[in-house]
Structure 1
Amino acid sequence: MKKSLLFTLFLVSGFGAYAQETFPVNGVHDKRPDLYVFTHATIVVNAETVLQNATMVIRDKKIESVGTAVQIPQGAVVTDLKGKFIYPAFIDAFTSYGLPEIKVGGRNFRATPQFLSNKKGAYNWNEAIVPEYDATKYFQVDEKKANDLRKLGFGSVNVVNRDGIARGASALVNLANGKENEAMLSGQASSNYSFNKGTSSQDYPSALMGCIALLRQTYYDARWYKANNGKVEYNISLDELNKQQSIPQVFEVDNVLDILRADKIGDEFGVQYIFKSGGDEYKRLDKVKATNGALIVPLNFPKPYEVEDPYEAMQINLSQLKNWELAPTNPAQLEKAGIKFAITSADGQDFWDNLRKAIEFGLSEKQALKSLTQVPAELLKVDDKVGSLKAGMYANFIITSSDLFKKDNLILENWVQGQRLVVTDAGQADLRGVYDLKIEGVPLIKLTINGKNAFTNEYSVQADTVKAKPAISRLNDMVNLNFTLKNVLKGNVALSGYISGKEPLQLKGTAVLSDGNSVAWVADWKEAAKDVQKKDETKSDLSSGTVTYPFIAFGFKDQPKAEKILIKNTTVWTNEKDGKLENTDVLIDAGKIIQIGKKLSVAGAKEIDGTGKHLTAGIIDEHSHIAISRGVNESAQSVTSEVRIGDVINSEDINIYRQLAGGVTSSHLLHGSANAIGGQTQLIKLRWGKSPEELKFENSDGFIKFALGENVKQSNWGENQRTRFPQTRMGVEQVLVDAFQRAKEYQKQQDSFNKSKAGLAPRKDLELDALVEILNKKRFITCHSYVQSEINMLMHVADSMGFKVNTFTHILEGYKVADKMKAHGAAGSTFSDWWAYKMEVKDAIPYNGAIMHSTGLLVAFNSDDAEMARRLNQEAAKAVKYGNVSEEEAWKFVTLNPAKMLHIDNRVGSIKVGKDADVVLWSNNPLSVYAKAEKTIVDGIVYFDIEQDKQMQADVKAERARLIQKMIDAKTKGEKTQKPMREQAFDYHCDSEYHFGGAEADTDYNYRYGLEHKENQH
């Protein structure tokens, strides 16, 4: 029996309507065989295999056979698809289809703190850890959303809970209409993670580094739980997390740096994540490839900004402008790099427009189909069920009018589990054409109806004898038009009617005039329409800029390399016993200082004339908060030694470049001062353009931030913050004693088990591990401090518990206790001349540094401020003014002395043969306000050059101008636009708080004032 493509309504409504096997039927059973045959079609089996004039047989939801010589079984409903195409239906590996809506927000951070979970039951202590979530228990068929996805070509989707850090198991479902039991393709499709705590109302974690630490601790807890077979406690969350380790692991991230952060966690625990990305992988393509992880990539290409207004254009930074241009190239660049990726409809609009744009920008059609079918099926381990058109697989396929990726192609039908779902009614009459419109009592009107194709219901209409802008709508054979005919009739005319004849086409019905009278109307088709509204199609401007490292203003197109450099005839501040050397040469090669002397001559070296200039070791900032992503304080608990600044380095921070321009070569990135024991610090070299891991100062000792005083006891946190211990300075002491007592007991327990291997394995505690490192002299303390009483208190606690305080930072009352600090063995890193900015610094004096130095303490000046760090050379000069410290000793306050504090003086801090070539060439005495850093060299690489900077400023201006004009042109061509949106971020200080959902939550870039501070000011 043969049928046309348009099946009868009876058959269509009957497909898939029979009851499920396990469900009773109230009435007469209707279990007809689902047997359909499609002939003479172009069948795309998968991206590699295309069959011409082929046949496919569907029986009971599955493909029975497909090929060019298939026998048609008797009793089948046969459809001739000559000229049409069949493709596998798409698979979206990342959606929230069918799950309850997540209520955004979480706890108001101004509310009373919540330390523990409010969730009842034997679950994890933190609400953001919910591996017990099972999407199969919450999924409900949503026919409207399913229909929207089917129109795009999707037949099955992975249903993911997007709430929390460990999010539980997803479900793979088909998009058929019917019961949930029928739609469910597989449970436990993937285990899911993110760096977003979601709706959790607990305070912890309050920053990105806390999210990372919490996830790492959860993994260790799950291992401990498994090793002990749940004998210590029963924990549903840890039990479920362990069960899910054998299924695909999907990690949702916001940007490319988060991919690298998540991959580090995966490497630590032997997990290879699939990354649901943010769509900006092109920015660090080589690093993404090195993760070996597959991607699920959104097509969330940004719209051009409205930048005609120069003031509004200033709100957009260069990174935003460049991302608009380069984002559409992301899929093509992934394909070229050989990175496996699926495409998702998540996070984006205009799916098909963006997919075609990605193809226009270089993505092959073959890869596009693969990324929508085979790849997601493989990633979710269901490629034996969906993703191709092979015998035994589910009958999930789409029928198209033409080649899938052609602009005028239409998806006609989407079959899901053998259930036919009409997307575009190919049998409806084509309304396009020129008509004679006759309205009773009105002169003849020539009416033109245009549209993209015969099947769409999107039309443009023109009545060319009068000025009119008709509105038209259509539902099957019903038609409505509404317009005003000036000079013919007064007011509005509403036509409602139907298609009364199709050969030739005729429309007729009733017109309601503006006076309320109803009259008859008829429109007779005369000829095919010439689309008078059709404009010449304009292709996208495929020319594009280049990726820079980092992807912000002043980034390098090509990473600079180490050179053999000979700096001639300059004044060298050695910071060694030789002091200052006049008219001296310094040779740098392979990142090291090779030779120091006079009148050196070296073949192949790049010579720099240093006459009248000064060469110094690079400035080392002992206390910095630059280059940190999404929070400098994990402020929710009194002890957060488990968190690590090294996990959240932001290599895209413009402050790195600015501080290179101020002669800084290394920065010690500290946790804030919100807790008595804060997070682990990270020392970096300012290698502008390198990735976060490449910024880290190799083989340097680990440090940790402690704090005392007002910030710790929450003096200025508001009335609601009166529950977290400690609330007094006395309480701070008890927190410290308690923490180290616990650490000692923890180490004893660990040592005992490691020796005997008897009994239950002790739980690994990341918080206590860091404190044990302090006790074992493998991690060192830098402590935020002001008041002498607390300084004495911490030294007393340290002496009694068996550890040392390496550095007191800020230490504005250090001059009062310098002798005791010297006896303890502590150094002092202070401000040059800050005072009177809060109560606990009322006794601060500008002579503090000089007095501590005269007592024999190791003294440094630090910034704690992104702007001050660019002028630390001038801060050092204040030691000469306040206390008559010699120039050479004052210079050591920002070079050699911080190097000694950080235990890296064997490599940096002075100019000595064999040390790292971290040097700065100054235009004048470096302590002078007139001195400029002309060249800042790190590891023998020139990362800042004052002459090159002038060219880079000009390049930034030119690039902005080019991109702004390109956006204006795009708007002129009809592209949808968006309002300029300034990217909000912070320059952090010790007391900066960060809360998820706050101003910085949507960006990973530490821009200031949106335009990188006008981008041309350093």
Structure 2
Amino acid sequence: MITFMPKSNFMKKILSFLGLGLSLFYSGFSQVAPVRGIADKDVEIKAYTNATVHVDANTTFKNATIVVKNGKIDAIGTQVAVPVNAVSVDLQGKHVYPSFVELYSAYGISEAPNKKGEYPVYESTNPGAYYWNDAIRPQMDAAGMFSPDQKSAEKWRKAGFGVSLSHHQDGIARGKGLAVTLGDGNTEENIIDLKNHAFFSFDKGSSSMSYPSSLMGSIALLRQAFYDAKWYSDAKPEKKNISLEHLSRQLNAPGFFKVSDKLDLLRAEKIAQEFGLSWIYVGGNDYYQNPDLFRNKNIKLVVPINHPKAYDVSNPLATSMLAMEDLKEYDWAPMNLYTLSKNGVRYALSASALEKPEEIFKEIRIALDAGANEKDILAALTTIPAQFAGIDKQVGSLERGKLANFLITNKPIFEKGSKIITNVVRGNGFEINPEPIADFAGKYLVQLGEKDFELSISEDKDSYKASLMSLLSDSTKHKVNVSTQGFGINLSFKLSDEEGYYRIQGRKSENGLKGRGSDPKGVPFNFSATSEEMEENENKNSEENENFPVSSFSYPMKAFGYPALPEKQSILIKNVTVWTNEKDGVLENTDVLISNGVIAQIGKNLPKANWTVIDGTGMHLTPGIVDEHSHIAISKGVNEGGQAVSAEVSIEHVVNPEDINIYRQLAGGVTAAQLLHGSANPIGGRSAVVKLKYGESPDEMLINNADGFIKFALGENVKQSNWGERFNSRYPQTRMGVEQMYYDAFHRALEYRKAKESARTAKDKPPYNIEYEVLLEILDRKRFVSCHSYIQSEINMLMHVADSLGFNINTFTHILEGYKVADKMKAHGVSGSTFSDWWAYKFEVKDAIPYNAAIMHEQGVNVGINSDDAEMGRRLNQEASKIVKYGGVSQVEAVKMVTLNPAKMLHIDNRVGSIRVGKDADVVLWSDVPLTQKAKVKYTLIEGKIYYSEDQEKAALERDQKQRVAIINKMMADKYGDKRKPTAAKREKMYHCESFNESSESHHD
């Protein structure tokens, strides 16, 4: 037992016991170093007694003992005998928890130098038998890079962590991680596990290579690397590759994948399913925004907890510019952990997103105030991360045989005022928050007989002073004599209306003080004193601690979000003028019945039955507008310009259904679009043909069974002649080179097919090549080309290339010199998707004229009017009206140029583009003739679902304004004491053909 001594000396001695760091004698070695001198055979044993021990999130022992021997738990429980030779530490009133496990850390790993320079790099700068792209580096091994960092370890220990799964946080394929304890020993003493934990991301990191330059490029590169690794494993080629050697093994190893948001998580999960992988995702902070996206996916998450901070909303003008999505993120993000638990998602917590790991307790408090469960959070810091890392036999809970990694706290760990006193790592105690073994200072409520008193105890140098005051009569303070010894406190005092002294002997308890006493007559009684802070916490109105949202949930969580996703309705539109785009032409005073997502009947005086009825008197009904050339709804880059041929990338992989431009274009009558890759290379990426289903999942936006398309490009952009002097090294640099690029790419694809067909063994068969497979689809007329074009000579060139290789160009987009080659376009069978009146914005469009569309139409070319611009996409009906003015095209044919004709270009005219029984109910109800400036959209329906209406918009505007005010008031009252973020308007990313990287600006004009 410990001999108690005066308070200050005792504190120093006991903390030295807790912090003992003697060398441990291990029972097993992988190697034995020679002993110099006489071997020290002392075995260190510690016993921590009288503690409330939280074995795991669901198991707690009171008055328990933990015996630690050689850095491991030798015994634990309520009936454990303390070994005679143990250093015993009395933890009366204290709590013990498993130390936390961090799964996403670079602890002990130095950062990679940034190799990015001023000029583009097209070949790997990493010499040796490695993968061709520097962003794929599975050969990186944290075990060979790890070096204990005591300064960093101390920061993590302050936050309660005892173990880190560290890795080299650089690149797309990042190599192996290493599980280590956060002690002060050498590397060997800290390593727990050498499992093949593999780490991945979509971030190419410090790689200086130009490729990839977009999210879709990162996805394509990773997929290709996996295909190469699978081939390498099967073929076992004589020519060895270190990167593929490691990556092929990692395909069967536990993996962690870092994602930036919920959409990236879905993208990574698709890759995992494609290759039969099981990843744990580091991310998921925005899971609360749409749990339906992850239904039945059985995902596992590591959540880097870091709630959004309140904005400085003191300036009303600046505050008015805050985006609704940022306001709702602040309001709803604290609900994330609650939502994860509610939906049964297994998650671990990480402090990796915080400037200081110890800030994790403040973040946890925010989540708890929003309804998160304490047991779930404790499990997310201990048992679950240990299980995810496969080290749960060593750490994560307090059990015999496991490492002695635990925290000693003064209170339950998530309670207000709780502090970590000591973080024990492998049996060595690290002092975190020194405090007296028993701190008696505070105010307490005491009942003596039938009278209530307030007992005040305060520190006085190395001792205490105290007073007692009645709560019912006068405010006279009675002096109290105080003496302390360890956990014990002795009190004696005399009340003015009684003779003799009260004498009390007590101990510190969770709720205050407890003990025994005797009154002035010597009658014994049980004594208790409740801490006023505890009383205040217990009696406080629970609503004061709540951090629940003041705004409503919506799909998506931003402006104009739907309270619930639109559902199919049976709708009868009466007495409307119908622009059918069929042989029936324009029908006056006609009824249209929509049922089960399709157009069910067209006629006059249709029975109303039980349908929702819309009076269309004086209004006009058209098919939904189809935009053949759009760049909205794309995440993190519209161009993969890192190399001249990018057929391996796909816009389908980066569809973003939450782009506010989707809603804006619904308000302009657009229901479908082709989301095109940009024009940075002769052969760009594949397209996504979508319906504008705002707030749905990316898969819901894609049109099922639609033909595949790909973007080609001609002109200045692809040869980089307008990119500046830094971009004069990538082939091609001339128009001649562009032509040869097409031939070379297709001939390489044909050679690839020949090699596949002639292969007799796995070693002879080439690895699956995404780029070549896509090019072969074009040659086989299974994928169709939409080509960015301007100049007559180049248009002729590409048609000749296609003819010579046996395929057709499907659509020339922009095609501002189409009027010069309309007859040849007709002969080739290619459509023209153009602007109505854009010209003179760069040299190669100097010959553009506003009669272009009309002339192509007169020659029998299928002509459409496209946007290529988020703003123009909102008013394509007006762009079509210009063709009536410039060229005298009829209004019926002009309407077709933004509906049926682009639907034909995209091969979806069997479903959309006209109003015919059996077609998809993608229709727009206009207030006036659709080509006039007075026409406003009243309703926009997709497959019978109302995605836009004037009434809905009015209600959404009123709702959003009220919620803005409520959230701003919540920010004003923010109680978490963070430094507020400066208020700034969110700059939207609006891509065009020329937008490069993730910028909303054009890289070149």
- TM-score of the pair, normalised by structure 2: 0.87
Q: Which moved more, 1:283-292 or 1:304-313?
A: 283-292
Match of 2:366 in 1: 357
Work out the CA distance in 2 between the residues paired with 1:190 and 1:76.
38
Which of 804, 809, 825 aligns to 1:821? It is: 825
Match of 1:460 in 2: none
Match of 2:982 in 1: 979
Work out the CA distance in 1 between the residues paired with 2:916 and 2:935.
23
Match of 2:220 in 1: 213
- 2:111 aligned with 1:107: no
Match of 1:648 in 2: 654
Question: How far did residue 6 of structure 1 move?
Answer: 6.3
Match of 1:406 in 2: 415
Amino acid at match of 2:909: D
Question: How far did residue 28 of structure 1 move?
Answer: 5.4
Match of 1:56 in 2: 66
Match of 1:422 in 2: 431
Match of 2:330 in 1: 324
Match of 2:804 in 1: 800
Gap change, CA 1:668 and 1:3, over 3 Å in 2:
farther
Question: How far did residue 424 of structure 1 move?
Answer: 2.3
Amino acid at match of 1:387: G
Work out the CA distance in 1 between the residues paired with 2:647 and 2:203.
20
In the TM superposition, what whole-angstrom CA distance separates every residue of 1:561-603 from its partner, at most 9, and x where no partner exists? 1100000011100000000011000000010000000000142
Ranges in structure 1 where 5+ consecutive residues have no aligned partner:
435-447, 456-528, 1002-1018
Match of 2:512 in 1: none
Work out the CA distance in 1 between the residues paired with 2:234 and 2:1000.
42
Work out the CA distance in 1 between the residues paired with 2:859 and 2:314.
62
Work out the CA distance in 1 between the residues paired with 2:40 and 2:988.
62
In the TM superposition, what whole-angstrom CA distance separates every residue of 1:676-699 from its partner, at most 9, and x where no partner exists? 000000011011110111111111
Gap change, CA 1:892 and 1:427, over 3 Å in 2:
same
Contact 2:284 2:301 in 1 (8 A): no
Amino acid at match of 2:965: A
Work out the CA distance in 2 between the residues paired with 1:608 and 1:195.
48
Work out the CA distance in 2 between the residues paired with 1:819 and 1:955.
54
SS at structure 2 position matched to 1:246: coil
Gap change, CA 1:581 and 1:15, over 3 Å in 2:
same
In the TM superposition, what whole-angstrom CA distance separates every residue of 1:684-717 from its partner, at most 9, and x where no partner exists? 1011110111111111000000000111111210
In the TM superposition, what whole-angstrom CA distance separates every residue of 1:284-312 from its partner, at most 9, and x where no partner exists? 21213443220001220111100110232
In the TM superposition, what whole-angstrom CA distance separates every residue of 1:973-1010 from its partner, at most 9, and x where no partner exists? 85542222443342111011115xx6899xxxxxxxxx
Contact 2:25 2:70 in 1 (8 A): no
Work out the CA distance in 1 between the residues paired with 2:303 and 2:765.
41
In the TM superposition, what whole-angstrom CA distance separates every residue of 1:97-136 from its partner, at most 9, and x where no partner exists? 1111344x5524xx22211111121111111111111111
Match of 1:471 in 2: none
Match of 2:782 in 1: 778
Ranges in structure 2 where 5+ consecutive residues have no aligned partner:
5-10, 444-456, 465-530
Amino acid at match of 1:762: P
Gap change, CA 1:319 and 1:76, over 3 Å in 2:
same
Match of 1:715 in 2: 721
Q: Which moved more, 1:233-242 or 1:66-75?
A: 66-75
Question: How far did residue 410 of structure 1 move?
Answer: 1.9
Which of 31, 41, 44 aligns to 2:51? It is: 41
Gap change, CA 1:8 and 1:542, over 3 Å in 2:
closer
Match of 1:992 in 2: 995
Percentage identity across paired residues of the two chains: 49
Question: How far did residue 84 of structure 1 move?
Answer: 1.7
Contact 2:865 2:879 in 1 (8 A): yes
Question: How far did residue 78 of structure 1 move?
Answer: 2.0
State how many pairs are aligned: 903
Which of 228, 234, 238 aligns to 1:227? It is: 234
SS at structure 1 position matched to 2:290: helix
Contact 2:811 2:831 in 1 (8 A): yes
Gap change, CA 1:207 and 1:252, over 3 Å in 2:
same
Contact 2:119 2:726 in 1 (8 A): yes
Match of 1:791 in 2: 795
Q: Which moved more, 1:72-81 or 1:720-729?
A: 72-81
Contact 1:84 1:400 in 2 (8 A): yes
Work out the CA distance in 2 between the residues paired with 1:969 and 1:68.
46
Gap change, CA 1:875 and 1:38, over 3 Å in 2:
same
SS at structure 1 position matched to 2:197: strand
Work out the CA distance in 1 between the residues paired with 2:553 and 2:67.
49
Amino acid at match of 2:601: Q
- 2:208 aligned with 1:201: yes
SS at structure 1 position matched to 2:194: strand
Contact 1:660 1:686 in 2 (8 A): yes
Match of 1:515 in 2: none
Q: Superposed, which structure 2 residues align to 1:551-700 within 5 Å? A: 551-700=557-706
Gap change, CA 1:8 and 1:601, over 3 Å in 2:
closer
Gap change, CA 1:960 and 1:27, over 3 Å in 2:
farther
Question: How far did residue 961 of structure 1 move?
Answer: 1.4
Work out the CA distance in 2 between the residues paired with 1:859 and 1:792.
18
Work out the CA distance in 1 between the residues paired with 2:22 and 2:163.
16
Which of 262, 271, 286 aligns to 1:265? It is: 271
Match of 1:184 in 2: 191
Match of 1:955 in 2: 959
Match of 2:397 in 1: 388
- TM-score of the pair, normalised by structure 1: 0.85
Question: How far did residue 182 of structure 1 move?
Answer: 0.4
Q: CA RMSD in A?
A: 2.5
Gap change, CA 1:89 and 1:871, over 3 Å in 2:
same
Work out the CA distance in 2 between the residues paired with 1:11 and 1:28.
26
Work out the CA distance in 2 between the residues paired with 1:759 and 1:136.
33
Question: How far did residue 541 of structure 1 move?
Answer: 4.3
SS at structure 2 position matched to 1:817: helix
Question: How far did residue 763 of structure 1 move?
Answer: 1.1
Amino acid at match of 1:143: Q
- 2:744 aligned with 1:734: no
Which of 307, 313, 317 aligns to 1:301? It is: 307
Contact 2:335 2:548 in 1 (8 A): no
- 2:384 aligned with 1:378: no
Question: How far did residue 141 of structure 1 move?
Answer: 1.1
Work out the CA distance in 2 between the residues paired with 1:454 and 1:242.
67
Contact 1:19 1:25 in 2 (8 A): no
Amino acid at match of 2:92: K
Match of 1:158 in 2: 165
Gap change, CA 1:947 and 1:329, over 3 Å in 2:
same
Question: How far did residue 176 of structure 1 move?
Answer: 1.0
In the TM superposition, what whole-angstrom CA distance separates every residue of 1:325-365 from its partner, at most 9, and x where no partner exists? 11111011101110000011110252111112211211111
SS at structure 2 position matched to 1:193: strand
Question: How far did residue 422 of structure 1 move?
Answer: 1.8
Q: Which moved more, 1:395-404 or 1:646-655?
A: 395-404
Amino acid at match of 1:991: E
Match of 2:81 in 1: 71
Match of 1:86 in 2: 96
In the TM superposition, what whole-angstrom CA distance separates every residue of 1:406-447 from its partner, at most 9, and x where no partner exists? 11222111111111212222337969799xxxxxxxxxxxxx
Question: How far did residue 648 of structure 1 move?
Answer: 0.7
Which of 965, 969, 989 aligns to 2:969? It is: 965
Contact 1:672 1:678 in 2 (8 A): yes
Match of 1:137 in 2: 144
Work out the CA distance in 2 between the residues paired with 1:141 and 1:661.
58
- 2:124 aligned with 1:117: yes
Question: How far did residue 604 of structure 1 move?
Answer: 1.2
Work out the CA distance in 1 between the residues paired with 2:18 and 2:671.
71
Gap change, CA 1:119 and 1:760, over 3 Å in 2:
same
Contact 2:234 2:762 in 1 (8 A): no
Contact 1:397 1:414 in 2 (8 A): yes
Work out the CA distance in 1 between the residues paired with 2:373 and 2:870.
45
Work out the CA distance in 2 between the residues paired with 1:966 and 1:454.
44
